[in-house]
Amino acid sequence: MSQDLAAVILAAGKGTRMKSNRAKVLHEIAGRAMLHYPLQAARQAGFERLHVVVGHQADQVRETLAESGVCFVDQTEQLGTGHALLCASESLADFSGTLLLLCG
């Protein structure tokens, strides 16, 4: 019996402590945007339903993940992680399995 799995990756914040104008999740580590690593980890763990919450520099984040097949969720105001998950709840309304929450 297979289990229904979904992951929500939080990628809406500004990353102000990075002291950069670029969104934190778009900074590169080993030649790849930071956001690729939690996405890859979720896929390797068997999560197929992937939702990425975007806000700050949302267009650039979408462009970075254009070919990834994820569902994007908009968080127009960055009001914290709880609010980000609340924003994702609409796209998960029909979901009743295991949810993994990851920071981008």
Catalytic amino acids? 17
Q: How many residues does the structure list for the chain?
A: 104
Using DSSP's 3-state secondary structure scheme, residue 81 falls into helix
Question: What is the C-alpha to C-alpha distance for residues 47 and 76, in angstroms, rounded to an integer?
Answer: 26
Contacts of 97 (CB under 8 A, 6+ apart): 3, 4, 5, 6
